[in-house]
Structure 1
Amino acid sequence: MNISFLSNLYKDGVKNSLRENVFIISNLIKEYGRDEYQQIFKDSDMRFNIIELDGKVIYDSRKYNEEEKLENHRNRREVRDVRNIGIGFDIRKTTISDEIMAYYAVERINKEGEKIIVRVSKNYGETLKMLKIILLAELLFFTILNFIIHSFYKNYLKRDLYQKIEIIENFLEDKGNGENLYFEEDPWILNLWDVVQKWQKQNLENIVNLNREKRILHQIITSIDSSICLFDEKLQLIIKNSKFNYLYEKDKSYYLNLIKDIEIIDIMKKAILEKQNQKTEVYVLRLKRYFSVNIKFLEQDQRYLLSVKDITQTRGMIEVQKTFISNVSHELKTPLTNIKGYVIALEDAPEPLRAQFIKTIKNNIDKLENIIIDFLNISKIESSNIVNIEKIPVSRLKTELHAVLNERIKTTNAKISYNLNLLNKENELKIDFEKVLTILKNLVENAIIYKNNSTPEIEISIIETKNRYKIGVKDNGVGISSEDIEKIFERFYRVDKARTSNKAGTGLGLSIVKELVERCGGKIDVISKEGKGTIFIFTILK
């Protein structure tokens, strides 16, 4: 039981160590290329791989530039587990060196937005050797202990007990009651041994429970999204989790030396002076970030519990929501005001103007409908991360796209052509149909709206690779200036507002496109020049 407990404890330790390494590496691969992090890890004793979802090794820190020689890892247990549950862990002998290795793997997104598997490994052989040594030491210890107990019992306790038994027997014989008194072999020792065994069993159960609770507490502390510090009555650090380590100095324990930023220190000082709980939000100038600081005064132990949470993103979302609501109000107000004004004017308008007023009212209703549809699309995108991949015939995509744009195509005589380069002969696409249709609808609609004086000509190209599609939408429209290209994916941003205010646009179309492309695991780029048309190119994963 003890060795099983120790084995599980060491496995958990190795697993946690590998998990931390994966966290570090995942952050690196989001920012750097393989040459850069190979430079970082070339002399490290830590080995890690980057593996595609189909098992192909595309990077190995120990066999750099030799990855093509490595066999496919799709059947490795940890890789299979990643595909099934998102996390994989295994301990086994390697096929090359017969070393026992521990592997930990997770699914991540790389710098190019692709889903990959990051796997780290560590030699587990030394750990097994240590466990065997511990087992041998336990066996030796209990063997010696049993020998000592046996010798003590045989040479002292047994003789002493026999002497006491004889005294009791003599006493009972003198009283005439000894004939009914008898003892089984060493009954007191047997009872004592039963007590010791029960005590030992209870102690071992308590140790297991304590370690389990300690492990659970550690997992809770390390998993929360706040930095936790506990200080004693002398304001010396007792325990701290690893969250937001950039707020603290290394190897310091006194709170004034430990905490880097005066904004947090001031709140701590107030809690110490008043011996009361403190909770407030602060802006840390050094980091240019907002934090929620909460200090609990534990009166019974005279201790202080400090928790710090980064709320920069939350505050940013609040500002985004305020801006969104303001823009929504403005966008809805304009067509509603126009409709109301023309309805009033329609009552007394002469017959020649009534048709013109009705047409204007209809245009504003169409604009209002477009605004509401775009708002619903934004809300739907933000409330769901689900991507429904299914096989869709290209013909269905063409039919649906023409159906939703039928009125605009007829009005402008727009011409839409397709250039397909697919790997399958059935002309099928493995995509989230609804999302891709919305993306193409918005891009083609923009191409028609921002047309040049000539007839709109739009070419949609779809190129299929092993694990993704590259889709382009090319037009012969007015183009986009270099200043506007950087802003066109922002919500409510419209190019040349004075020239396009009558187009019924909301400024949400391209922001919807960008968010949908990213939800499908891809990214979008723009190539454009004023007066020369525009090309939108985006990729999506299969």
Structure 2
Amino acid sequence: MDNHLDRQEVISALAGDEGFHIRKSKTLGEYYAYYAVKYGKEDKYIIRTSTNYSDKRDQLIYFATILTTFFIVLNCIIHFFYINYLKRDFENKIKKMKRYLEKGNTEKLLYYKKEEKWIFEFWEVLKEWQKRNLDNIEKLDYEKKLLKLIITSVDSFVGLIDQNGEFVLRNNSLNHLLILDNKKYTKAFKYIEIIAVIKKSIQEKKDIRQEIYINGIKEYFIISVKSIKKNNQFLITIKDITSIRRTVEIQKTFISNVGHELKTPLTNIKGYLIALEDAPKEIRKKFLDIVKNNVIKLENTIIDFLNISKIESSKILQIMPEEIYKIEKQVNDSVAIIKKEKNAEIEFHWDLLSINQGFINTDKEKLILILKNLVENGIIYNHSDNPKIDIFILEEKDKYKFKIKDNGIGIPEDKLKKVFERFYRVDKARTSNLGGTGLGLSIVKEVVDQFGGEIKVESKEQGGSIFKFYLMK
């Protein structure tokens, strides 16, 4: 049947052992399934058969439609489930991770199931990274606080300015040099002397360390400006050296006065000793008395210098109960010679709390030093035939109040403010003859200050003096 050689199933059978094809029959108008196979010796024949396939095709199309619809619906359900659960769950986990990173240890840790292997491993890596991050943040925070503590605790001004001349940071030391509301250094500093040094360093781009004197406040400072080239910033430090400069000046004055105070009696002693060699017998005693007085003056000067040096080097008080009769005895013994010479009288008036009768809590050695100097002054600077010194002691809950009253020559009213200065003497010619060094009252004030007390004087010329002070227990 040559007219069937073009059928697909025949072509397939000729090419192999059998062929199969499904197509719509042009004759019958329905779908048929055709099968062809070789037959006979040497494969000379082709057996071809067919069967109606329309019902089966319709069934397949029906089932294919159902399955397609099923999988479309299933895909929609899966997509809906992903959008509303899986994706949301994943987003929640990501949000929690984000909060953990933002809040650190304050956020509760998450623990994922090991079935979610990839996210569990990712979480473990994230936690390890966060731990290291928190350790670094904690370390940086500690170093930042330590640096801030150091900067704020130093008594020098420390400030950092940027390339625009504005403060990045600064401490609160030496605020009297600044207008705190301004950030730009040219407006923040009150004094042109400081601004000039900073401006010079910025313009010349070099480090500067310079001592300046601000005339407006009469104070000395050392200002240092260092360039931080990496950030184009400048570190400014300002240290107040006024006290150091004044201490140097005081030391110079002290040394000068020491030399002068020692030189005068030594010159007198030397001169009169030379004069004694050829002096007649009747005036030798006079010369010896002068030498003796100068030796006493020299001795008193050295004792005052030693006392003030000792007070400044040892400011520790040794407070303990002391018997008042021993204090009276030591004060009298310390001025015994001059007391006898001047026929002076010293009287103590104690008004102590009942529980402390007979004792006071004090540093006896330093209290004796105060009383000895005040009593001695009251006797020395006194023209009375019977110098009288009254010492009043009133005990209160936390301190002792003292009042030392004398009937001496007094102090002019315009001199009262200066009597506690070192080497100050009301009448230099007069006090020089009496053997004073001008250190006695400055020693008294220094010791009273160490006790946390305060001393005042009331006096008028030829009307005696009253020294009032208190010592903390």
Provide the TM-score with structure 2 as the length reference: 0.73
The answer to whether the aligner puts 1:302 opposite 2:235 as a matched pair is no
Classify 1:525/1:235 alpha carbon distance in 2 versus 1 (closer, same or farther; 3 Å): closer
Which residue in the other structure is 1:348 paired with? 278
AA paired with 1:242? N
Give, in angstroms, the shift of residue 141 of structure 1. 7.9
Classify 1:239/1:443 alpha carbon distance in 2 versus 1 (closer, same or farther; 3 Å): same
Classify 1:530/1:257 alpha carbon distance in 2 versus 1 (closer, same or farther; 3 Å): closer
AA paired with 1:497? K
For the aligned residue pairs, the C-alpha RMSD in angstroms reads 2.5
Give, in angstroms, the shift of residue 314 of structure 1. 2.2
Which residue in the other structure is 1:462 paired with? 393
AA paired with 1:272? I
Which residue in the other structure is 1:480 paired with? 411
The answer to whether the aligner puts 1:265 opposite 2:265 as a matched pair is no
Distance in 1, Cα, partners of 2:229 & 2:361: 61
Identity of aligned residues (%): 47
AA paired with 1:390? M
> Does the 8 Å CA contact 2:384/2:407 hold for their aligned counterparts?
no
- Equivalent positions of 1:155-194 (< 5 A) are 158=117, 189=120
Residue 225 of structure 1: SS of its match in structure 2?
A: coil
Which of 312, 315, 327 is matched with 2:257 structurally? Answer: 327
The answer to whether the aligner puts 1:359 opposite 2:289 as a matched pair is yes
Q: Which runs of 5+ in 1 are unaligned?
A: 1-133, 162-187
Structure with higher Rg: it is 2
Classify 1:369/1:139 alpha carbon distance in 2 versus 1 (closer, same or farther; 3 Å): closer
Distance in 2, Cα, partners of 1:237 & 1:517: 45
Which residue in the other structure is 1:513 paired with? 444
383-392 vs 293-302, greater mean Cα deviation: 293-302
Distance in 1, Cα, partners of 2:425 & 2:178: 45
The answer to whether the aligner puts 1:377 opposite 2:302 as a matched pair is no
Give, in angstroms, the shift of residue 444 of structure 1. 0.6
Distance in 1, Cα, partners of 2:221 & 2:333: 50
Distance in 1, Cα, partners of 2:216 & 2:430: 44
Residue 507 of structure 1: SS of its match in structure 2?
A: coil
AA paired with 2:135? E
- Equivalent positions of 1:63-462 (< 5 A) are 142=107, 146=110, 150=112, 158=117, 189=120, 195-423=125-353, 424=355, 426-462=357-393
Which residue in the other structure is 1:498 paired with? 429
Q: Spell out, residue by residue over 1:52-96, the C-alpha distance to the aligned partner (whole angstroms, 9 max, x if none).
A: xxxxxxxxxxxxxxxxxxxxxxxxxxxxxxxxxxxxxxxxxxxxx
> Does the 8 Å CA contact 2:406/2:465 hold for their aligned counterparts?
yes
Give, in angstroms, the shift of residue 411 of structure 1. 1.0
Instruction: Extract structure 1 runs of 4+ deviating beyond 6 A.
Output: none
AA paired with 2:389? I
AA paired with 1:431? T
Classify 1:288/1:437 alpha carbon distance in 2 versus 1 (closer, same or farther; 3 Å): same
Classify 1:318/1:420 alpha carbon distance in 2 versus 1 (closer, same or farther; 3 Å): same
Residue 307 of structure 1: SS of its match in structure 2?
A: strand
Which residue in the other structure is 2:453 paired with? 522
Classify 1:319/1:140 alpha carbon distance in 2 versus 1 (closer, same or farther; 3 Å): closer
Classify 1:516/1:207 alpha carbon distance in 2 versus 1 (closer, same or farther; 3 Å): same
Give, in angstroms, the shift of residue 301 of structure 1. 3.1
Give, in angstroms, the shift of residue 426 of structure 1. 3.4
AA paired with 1:458? I
Distance in 1, Cα, partners of 2:224 & 2:361: 49
Residue 418 of structure 2: SS of its match in structure 1?
A: coil
Classify 1:346/1:139 alpha carbon distance in 2 versus 1 (closer, same or farther; 3 Å): closer
Give, in angstroms, the shift of residue 256 of structure 1. 2.4
How many residues of Structure 1 are paired with residues of Structure 2 in the alignment? 373
Distance in 1, Cα, partners of 2:458 & 2:170: 50
Residue 382 of structure 2: SS of its match in structure 1?
A: coil
Distance in 2, Cα, partners of 1:431 & 1:418: 17
Q: Spell out, residue by residue over 1:282-327, the C-alpha distance to the aligned partner (whole angstroms, 9 max, x if none).
A: 2224434322211112233332111112222222222222222211
Classify 1:259/1:478 alpha carbon distance in 2 versus 1 (closer, same or farther; 3 Å): closer
Residue 486 of structure 1: SS of its match in structure 2?
A: helix
Which residue in the other structure is 2:81 paired with? none
Which residue in the other structure is 1:44 paired with? none
Distance in 2, Cα, partners of 1:333 & 1:500: 16
Give, in angstroms, the shift of residue 236 of structure 1. 2.8
Distance in 2, Cα, partners of 1:224 & 1:139: 34
AA paired with 2:320? E
Distance in 2, Cα, partners of 1:387 & 1:140: 52
Distance in 1, Cα, partners of 2:291 & 2:301: 15
Classify 1:339/1:320 alpha carbon distance in 2 versus 1 (closer, same or farther; 3 Å): same
Residue 233 of structure 1: SS of its match in structure 2?
A: coil
Classify 1:205/1:380 alpha carbon distance in 2 versus 1 (closer, same or farther; 3 Å): same
270-279 vs 492-501, greater mean Cα deviation: 492-501
Give, in angstroms, the shift of residue 205 of structure 1. 2.4
Classify 1:483/1:236 alpha carbon distance in 2 versus 1 (closer, same or farther; 3 Å): closer
Q: Which runs of 5+ in 2 are unaligned?
A: 1-98
Residue 391 of structure 2: SS of its match in structure 1?
A: strand
Residue 461 of structure 1: SS of its match in structure 2?
A: strand
Classify 1:300/1:523 alpha carbon distance in 2 versus 1 (closer, same or farther; 3 Å): same
Classify 1:513/1:241 alpha carbon distance in 2 versus 1 (closer, same or farther; 3 Å): same
> Does the 8 Å CA contact 2:394/2:400 hold for their aligned counterparts?
yes
> Does the 8 Å CA contact 2:104/2:130 hold for their aligned counterparts?
no
Classify 1:196/1:227 alpha carbon distance in 2 versus 1 (closer, same or farther; 3 Å): same
AA paired with 2:367? V
AA paired with 2:408? G
Which residue in the other structure is 1:185 paired with? none
Residue 132 of structure 2: SS of its match in structure 1?
A: helix
Classify 1:470/1:338 alpha carbon distance in 2 versus 1 (closer, same or farther; 3 Å): same
